[in-house]
Chains A and B, each alone.
Chain A
Amino acid sequence: MAAYSTELPIRADLDEAHAEIAARWATTGSWWSGVERLAIVEEVRRARDSAELAPWEAPSQIEGLVSSDHVLPEAAVDAIWRITSHPGTLTAEWHASILGSGIHPEAYVELVAVVAQANAVDRFADALNLDRVELPTPSASEPPKISETPLQVTSHWVPTAKIKGPNVLKALSAVPFENESLSLLSSAQYVRFGDLLSDLVSDQNSLSRMQVEVIAARTSKLNECFY
């Protein structure tokens, strides 16, 4: 099923990638259920569509913003809003406070992945005045909540597995399913991971690699991302 209904000439592989990502959001994760994962996406949408909070304001502390029977813990909702609206202000101390509120370190990694994907997919739709991708029916099974691979906290705030590649590609390695989603989305929207360092003359889409890198760098600077 297509992700978008539009006359715009969206590449088929890009449309398929967004439909696949939406299906993956609804799947039972390693640490969050399908219902919870879709709730994460819905919170990203709420954070984007609401009046922006200041970085120091947590939605859970504002009356009426987070219902008492919310499917997600308050700390998760607070993290989703902060990551969505003010990623450049995040600190190690803030990360520690989220874990201190009871979010498991690997559950945090999975949450970051879904939040980040939702930001990418929805911003694409919003910028082109498309309807955001429809959220599928969630899987009913419960997440296993066990580590899938040996992990250590070494270079990042979060635990990572021993894998080769740039540090940003190690960031989600604690949850391999999310690294697959990252690869799927990034390959359709940016550059295929296998071509990251080698391909300067890509014919993957209508842009030259130099144009792709200008857009990537300009967007990263606007988001005040040092990495």
Chain B
Amino acid sequence: MSQDTQVSFEAVGDSESGDGGVEHGALLSRLCEAIFEEDGDQLASVKDDVIEVAGAEVLIDAVAVSANFYMMTRIADSTGTPLDAGTVEPSAEIRELVGVNTFTSRREAQV
């Protein structure tokens, strides 16, 4: 994949908004939602879809990445980790687009 690839933030916002230029973006977003919801039927259905269109290796690696961010978010939120200097301004538009400014953790962040 070249670094010229055009991507957008649809798949980050929710799984209904498209792939955002990322292969299987919406499906992977749907997988994240099913893992978060912990609904067995919903998760089983999405996992079948991922295996069918992308394969079992992709399913496992995708679950691993998602699970990793149950760790990273807990570390950041439990330690009062502030945004990094130099990222506050450049990320302002993205934060608005993705819709994270209403989170409780936003109020606690030293922005």
Chain A interface (Cβ < 8 Å from any Cβ of B)? 8-11, 14, 83-84, 87-92, 95, 109, 112-113, 115-117, 119-121, 123-124, 126-128, 155-158, 166-168, 170-172, 182, 185-186, 188-190, 200-201, 205-212, 214-227
Known: A121-B67, A127-B67, A214-B22. A222 touches B32 (CB 8 A): yes
Main secondary structure of the interface of B (DSSP, over half): helix
Q: For residues 3 through 51 of chain B, which have their beta carbon under 8 Å from a beta carbon of chain A?
A: 3, 5, 7, 9, 11-13, 15, 20-25, 28-29, 31-33, 35-36, 38, 43, 47
Contact: A168 with B28, CB < 8 Å?
no
Known: A200-B3, A207-B62, A211-B62. A227 touches B105 (CB 8 A): yes
Known: A167-B81, A171-B81, A219-B36. A207 touches B65 (CB 8 A): yes
A162 to B74, CA, bound (A): 22
Known: A127-B35, A207-B58, A221-B100. A190 touches B65 (CB 8 A): yes
For the complex formed, measure the closest distance between the CB of A195 and the CB atoms of chain B, giving whole angstroms.
14
In the complex, what residue of chain B is closest to A222 when comparing beta carbons?
A: B36
Contact: A222 with B71, CB < 8 Å?
no
Contact: B63 with A127, CB < 8 Å?
yes
In the complex, what residue of chain B is closest to A223 when comparing beta carbons?
A: B73
In the complex, what residue of chain A is closest to B31 when comparing beta carbons?
A: A215
Chain B interface (Cβ < 8 Å from any Cβ of A)? 1, 3, 5, 7, 9, 11-13, 15, 20-25, 28-29, 31-33, 35-36, 38, 43, 47, 54-84, 98-101, 103-106, 108-110
Contact: B20 with A226, CB < 8 Å?
no
28 contacts between A and B (CB under 8 A): A9-B56, A9-B57, A9-B60, A90-B108, A91-B104, A120-B67, A120-B68, A120-B71, A123-B70, A127-B66, A127-B67, A167-B84, A171-B76, A189-B64, A190-B65, A200-B1, A211-B22, A211-B25, A215-B28, A216-B65, A218-B12, A219-B36, A219-B66, A221-B12, A224-B104, A225-B72, A225-B105, A226-B100
15 more A-B residue pairs beyond the given contacts A9-B56, A186-B72, A219-B66, with a C-beta to C-beta distance below 8 A: A83-B77, A115-B74, A167-B81, A168-B72, A171-B75, A186-B71, A189-B67, A205-B61, A210-B1, A214-B11, A214-B12, A221-B100, A222-B32, A223-B73, A225-B69
Contact: B103 with A225, CB < 8 Å?
yes
For the complex formed, measure the closest distance between the CB of A129 and the CB atoms of chain B, giving whole angstroms.
8
Complex contacts, A215 vs chain B, CB 8 Å: 28-29, 31-32, 62, 65-66, 69
Known: A219-B36, A227-B77. A201 touches B65 (CB 8 A): no
